[in-house]
Amino acid sequence: MPAPAPATAHATHWQRTRRLTMGLLLLWGLLVFVPVYFARELSWTLMGWPLSFWLASQGCLLGFVAIVHVYARRMERLDAEARLSEESR
């Protein structure tokens, strides 16, 4: 299979990058709003403090770290593919 033209490879790279970014932003939005929205229904208290909100906030932080990790890994792979297509010209 012949290597794609440089302009096509560049456009494909940015399309994949935007798709990845939009998907992870959507996941980030869900992580921000969904656990906090449902935390009221899980109204547990621990020493007078609402445990459900604390668990939701800690879960969000872990989710944010996972999103950053996924983004870094995927962008490494996408950038490597873009470099290979440029070198094969």
User: What pLDDT does residue 69 have?
Assistant: 97
Q: Are 12 and 4 in contact (CB under 8 A)?
A: yes
* pLDDT tens column, 29-74: 998 888 778 777 777 777 777 777 777 778 889 999 999 999 999 9
Q: C-alpha angle with apex 74: 71 to 78, nearest 5 degrees?
A: 130
The enclosing H or E element of 49 equals strand 49-50
